[in-house]
Amino acid sequence: MNVGFVGLGTMGGPMARNLLKKGHSLVVFDVVPSSVKALVDAGAKAAATPKDVAAASEMVITMLPDAPDVERAVLGADGVAAGIRPGSVYIDMSTIDPATTLRVGAAIAAKGASMIDSPVGKTADAAVAGTLTLMVGGPDDVVARCRPVLECMGTDFFHCGALGAGQTMKLLNNLLAQTIGSANVETLVAGVKAGITLDTMMAVLRTTMAWNQQLGVAMTKRSLAGDFKPGFMTKLAHKDCRLALSMIDSLGLRSPVTHATMTALDDAMRGGIADDDVGAMLKLREEAAGVKVRLA
């Protein structure tokens, strides 16, 4: 299939590569020339604008940082909507708010094309491996048409509902993940400050209901080993939680615990780790406490 891909960053680049590996023809665009060159060297063709990507593709995918980026790439004068062909499909795999998804979807439908949303879960390592979690929203028939392409990039596929439902699920997922992560960091730093070793805490927590995937997998592999290189950047976690809480507030619900998570992420942004992995929140808490929390 002729697939277009707009947004070749930390996640989008390896996702696009997996489409090439599975035999699809690929046309790509990114505002960073080196990112485009890397995909061209791997066998893709470059396009000058998102409009040109859409004109050359049966399916067009965007993987971009935030809602304004998606709106520019799709609704701008040289955007996807200006070039998409009737009968084609647009898939947004960015993490944005459902309201923007619905607005963009209406513009795509006006061109005689279809849209689904499919934000992804897991890490950059999973993007490379092609084992992402796919949270999909859209009509049954369009989702079924897109599934073989999506499964080139992910192994856990969930059709969450109508257009925008994928975004809703992704925002809630990330909000919960960051809430758990923030609690982990504060707990471990407090324990070390109080004189309990990290190894002791991990051994005890592993036997109780306090244990969680972040302690067992993500933090063990990255932050507790002192690795804060960008995987999922703090600024993106901040953006996702801001969008999730706005959505929850619009439902008229109280969420004091997750609002506290937003406060922690605000602190992290002010602490200068916006471009670091979100696990660098551990580093900020360590510095404030005067301790180091590291696995042997």
pLDDT-based confidence at residue 117 (cuts at 50, 70, 90): very high
Percent of the chain with pLDDT over 90: 97
Q: Tokens in use for 50?
A: 């998102």
Domain containing residue 38: CATH number = 3.40.50.720
Q: Does the pLDDT value for residue 230 go beyond 90?
A: no
Report the 3 state secondary structure along the chain.
CEEEEECCCCCHHHHHHHHHHCCCEEEEECCCHHHHHHHHHCCCEECCCHHHHHHCCCEEEECCCCHHHHHHHHHCCCCHHHHCCCCCEEEECCCCCHHHHHHHHHHHHCCCCEEEECCEECCHHHHHHCCEEEEEECCHHHHHHHHHHHCCCEEEEEEEECCCHHHHHHHHHHHHHHHHHHHHHHHHHHHHHCCCCHHHHHHHHCCCCCCCHHHHHHHHHCHHHCCCCCCCEHHHHHHHHHHHHHHHHHCCCCCHHHHHHHHHHHHHHHCCCCCCEHHHHHHHHHHHHCCCCCCC
Q: Tokens in use for 277?
A: 């992995």
Q: Return the residue matching tokens 């002791």.
A: 200
Q: Judge whether 28 lies within some domain.
A: yes
Give the end of a domain, one of 101, 128, 163. 163
* Residues marked as catalytic: 170
Domain containing residue 190: CATH number = 1.10.1040.10
Name the residue range of residue 257's domain: 168-289
Q: Mind listing the pLDDT tens digit for each residue in 167-223?
A: 999 999 999 999 999 999 999 999 999 999 999 999 999 999 999 999 999 999 999
Q: Mind listing the pLDDT tens digit for each residue in 267-294?
A: 999 999 999 999 999 999 999 999 999 9
| Residues 6 and 117 both lie in one domain | yes
**Sign of torsion, CA 216 221 222 224?**
positive
- Taking alpha carbons only, the member of 71, 75, 124, 109 closest to residue 233 is 124
Q: Tokens in use for 96?
A: 């944005």
Q: Judge whether 296 lies within some domain.
A: no
Give the end of a domain, one of 123, 141, 163. 163
Q: Does the pLDDT value for residue 296 go beyond 90?
A: no
Strand partners, 3: 26, 59
Q: Mind listing the pLDDT tens digit for each residue in 119-133?
A: 999 988 899 999 999
